[in-house]
Structure 1
Amino acid sequence: MTIVADSVEQPVHPKRVAQDSPVRRFARAFIEDRLAVAGLAIFLLIALLAILAPWITPQNPYDLAQLDIMDGGLAPGEASFSGMTYWLGTDPQGRDMLSAIVYGLRISLVVATVSLLCAIAIGIVAGMTAAYFGGRIDSIIMRIVDLQLSFPAILIALILLALLGRGVDKVILALIIVQWAYYARTVRASAIVEIRKDYMDAARCLALSHRRIMFRHLLPNCVPPLIVVGTVQIAQAIALEATLSFLGVGVPITEPSLGLLIANGYDYLLSGRYWVSVFPGIALVVTIVAINLMGDRMRDVLNPRLQK
């Protein structure tokens, strides 16, 4: 005797729905690349060290009360007169290079993150306004974007800092002005595609306000490209801040910066004190490479057509 069981629709368990969420799918695809995972781990470690810098470093390298000129120029691993071992050596002023690098990373991450968030906000508003309203507004905004992108970012930043002067806040403002055009163009390109879809026509038929359509319906669909561009741009912002400080127009000498550390050690390379300049340079390169590894993997995950 054959028994035929009636097909009964099984209820979907909430955990299965959670497992198939976009965030989980993104996480599973991201961890498939070991280099990207390594880059993420290195970046998180660097960020943690920068946050905890006042509590984990042997000294505040820019507090004159904690410096001893007798400890100046110590080689990596050499002990001072007080018995403290400086694993990365000291500069001629007696600063612990390990502490100076950690504090320099702190400034670099703060400058890059703050400028990134502000530039993204400005770029989102400009890009969506240009795509949504079109016409003359679109032409004016995009001509400004094209004009800015036609000049090298370092040139614009140098001109701005020459007018504004040195300072962390001045560097942040210069990086915001330099970067917003990238996000405006990215958002506009994504928004133009989304505006032609049916859900945008439905939102207009419901007589929703322009602000609600732009920021509640249009913006969420323009976020994925911003993640990729933002990840790449934060690495560029760190490199640009270091370059400006190296040239002497960025962070003042009273503040820690990897660019300043490299510049200060440049004069001592021929004398054999390589660690004053080389170790900050290695820290800068490792940070930028780690961020770029994450950005490349995010680009491949969010846009599968770019995968090799």
Structure 2
Amino acid sequence: MADTADTGHPILAENDRPPRTLERSESLLRRHVSTFFSSRGAVVALAVLAAAIVLAVGAPFFAPQNPYDLTQLDILDNMLPPGEALASGKTAWLGTDDQGRDMLSAILYGLRISLFVGAASVFFASLIGASVGVLAAYAGGRIESLVMRIVDLQLSFPAILVALVLLAIFGRGVDKVILALVVVEWAYYARTVRGNALVEKGREYIEAARCLALPRSRIVFRHLLPNCLPPLIVVATVQIARAIALESTLSFLGVGVPVTEPSLGMLIATGYNYLLSGNYWISTFPGVALVIVIVAINLVGDRLRDVLNPRLAR
């Protein structure tokens, strides 16, 4: 069996790995982590993203009110500017909207929906796209040509257009938006993994696996696919930001998530009609939160790209 430790590729079987190879793998991981945290911008972005996730997941605990519980709302609290007191005695630090909902609470709950939609759509899209891409690269021939023509056809259409058509067919809902985003995004992962798998396909460890007469499924999913993960991780990280932005656009247009489960895009759309009347906070603060999250994700993804591909390091 060829020694692949120097090229960064794992030995064919977990149990066959010598201690020296495991030590090198752990050292490589520590070096990647150290390189990532050497960038102050990446660390700040990661901290902001982690804080956003914690606030979104713990929205029921951090939010002053449940903005979608009608028993907690008072119509007399509508259109309060930032810093005003609610009828309940609590302070609306970011103001309230036209229905008397505390904007801070609405943003935290909306952020939870946006992050969930983005993460779920990327998970399923990457799972499908990576499997299709690596199988196409390993099979080659007509199968690869057919799969890549389908991928090219998918990528030739604007993502927003495809999503709008699908949601017009499926209707509104969080699950419908996730399904539409999966259909739109899977081709990106298929193309990325296929390109990397074509390179890995000619490596010595794949030839060694073939000589050992290992099953094709084991070669593809146990050895070939894991070595295609670095670029896949980078693409998935960036695509989370893209999925959140696309979901917000769909919700802003009124075809995304329903009013009962509003995301940041829906909150921006709600306050859009009041921008010119001086009630800027209804739309501005959700927009700022959306921009901060997307920029943080993109900065983390950009740093991961540099770490996992040293040739691109700046």
Q: How high is the TM-score relative to the length of structure 2?
A: 0.91
Name the amino acid aligned to 2:157.
F
3-state DSSP of counterpart to 1:270: helix
Deviations 1:177-228 (A, max 9, x none): 0110000001100100011111111111111101000011101110000011
Assess, with a 3 A threshold, how the Cα gap between structure 1 residues 20 and 80 changes in structure 2: closer, same or farther: closer
**1:257 aligns to 2:263 (yes or no):** yes
Aligned to 1:267: 273
**1:103 aligns to 2:109 (yes or no):** yes
Any unmatched runs of 5+ in structure 1? 1-12
Assess, with a 3 A threshold, how the Cα gap between structure 1 residues 106 and 138 changes in structure 2: closer, same or farther: same
Aligned to 2:38: 32
CA distance in 1, matches of 2:82, 2:252: 23
Deviations 1:59-107 (A, max 9, x none): 1111111111011110000112332210000001000000000001000
Shift of 1:304: 1.4
Q: Which runs of structure 2 are paired with 1:152-171 in the superposition (5 Å)? A: 152-171=158-177
CA distance in 2, matches of 1:82, 1:111: 32
Aligned to 1:136: 142
3-state DSSP of counterpart to 2:188: helix
**1:285 aligns to 2:288 (yes or no):** no
**1:227 aligns to 2:229 (yes or no):** no
Deviations 1:216-272 (A, max 9, x none): 110111000001101100000000000000000000111121011101101101111
Percent identical: 67
Aligned residues of 2:74 and 2:87 also touching (Cα < 8 A): no
Moved more, 74-83 or 259-268: 74-83
CA distance in 1, matches of 2:51, 2:87: 31
Q: 2:223 aligns with which of 211, 217, 226?
A: 217
Aligned residues of 1:145 and 1:184 also touching (Cα < 8 A): yes
Q: Which runs of structure 2 are paired with 1:79-228 in the superposition (5 Å)? A: 79-228=85-234
CA distance in 1, matches of 2:87, 2:240: 41
Q: 1:59 aligns with which of 39, 55, 65?
A: 65
CA distance in 2, matches of 1:255, 1:116: 20
Shift of 1:19: 9.6
Aligned residues of 1:73 and 1:273 also touching (Cα < 8 A): yes
The count of residues paired between Structure 1 and Structure 2 equals: 295
CA distance in 2, matches of 1:219, 1:130: 12
CA distance in 2, matches of 1:276, 1:52: 22
Aligned residues of 2:238 and 2:297 also touching (Cα < 8 A): yes
3-state DSSP of counterpart to 2:276: coil
CA distance in 1, matches of 2:202, 2:146: 22
Deviations 1:32-56 (A, max 9, x none): 1110000000000000001101112
3-state DSSP of counterpart to 2:277: coil
3-state DSSP of counterpart to 1:248: coil
Highest Rg: 1 or 2?
1
CA distance in 2, matches of 1:148, 1:20: 39
Q: How high is the TM-score relative to the length of structure 1?
A: 0.93
CA distance in 1, matches of 2:228, 2:67: 43
CA distance in 1, matches of 2:109, 2:94: 14
CA distance in 2, matches of 1:139, 1:20: 38
Aligned to 1:10: none
Shift of 1:172: 0.3
Shift of 1:20: 5.5
Aligned residues of 2:234 and 2:305 also touching (Cα < 8 A): yes
